Amino acid sequence: MQLSSETKHKIQLVLLLAIAIAAARSGYILYQRHVDKIESAKKAPPPLEPDYYVTPKKLHPYDLQSTRELTRQPVWVKEGYRYTCYAYDRARRHTDFSRPQGTLLPIERLEIKDVVMDTAAEAPGQHLLMALFERNGRVLAVQVGVEKDQNFQIYSDEIFYIQDPHELYKHWPADVWDSVARHEVKPGMNELQADFAIGMGIPERSGDPAVKTVNYPNDGKPLRITYRDGKAEEIKPGPTA
């Protein structure tokens, strides 16, 4: 059967209309997928900071002998200006708790020479585990645990890294490490970086989870740092003791 030219024209129009509808539908589907992808990306949690993937090694000491594993490698102080050091008398094999010699410094590298059991009048019935190291030619001691009735509480893993922090956090930019070396904090640094630079901090209470204010004694030069979304936003002199 031969189709008339008018019928052919109508069929062509129908086909063109069907193609146009199909193209429009495909375009809409692709557009909707693109929109959905953008919305999903907005709703997805932000990627974790690289710091969260760092897992420093720990010794997990449980007695005097296992704590002496600290002597097998250098250690680095986690929180400066927190732990008090004392003079140690090698001849008497005793820590002079009446003569404090400052504190462990931020990211101070130490060579622990030995860990010994000692006693103090302020802690009757207990033995104190003291880590010995040298600073400026003098032997100093810092407490890393306690023993009573053969029960040990050892917290050296909370005091020291046994790996070089420069390697653990080598993803930090060079300018951050420069600030750490100068014991300075600049805007944009995170709280761990500030701890490395100026030591321990004391957080204030906050009703806003995105905002955190921390006071740093900073060895007598107190600073008050406000972090927003984990980054230092405001740095100013802190309250004096």
pLDDT: which is higher, 240 or 123: 123
What's CA 224's distance to the chain center, in Å?
Answer: 18
Predicted TM-score (pTM) of this structure = 0.78
Q: What is the mean pLDDT of the chain?
A: 88
DSSP bridge pairs for 237: 223
pLDDT in tens, 33-54: 655 566 655 555 555 688 989 9
Q: In this predicted model, what pLDDT tens digit does every residue of 128-164 receive, in sequence order?
A: 999 999 999 999 999 999 999 999 999 999 999 999 9
**Sequence spans of domains, the chain:** 1-44, 64-161, 172-237
More confident residue, 1 or 179: 179
Task: Answer whether CATH 3.30.1450 is correct for domain 172-237.
Answer: yes
CA–CA separation, 129 and 43 (whole Å): 50
Count of other CB atoms within 10 angstroms of residue 115: 23
User: Considering only CA atoms, which of 236, 69, 90 is closest in space to residue 157?
Assistant: 69
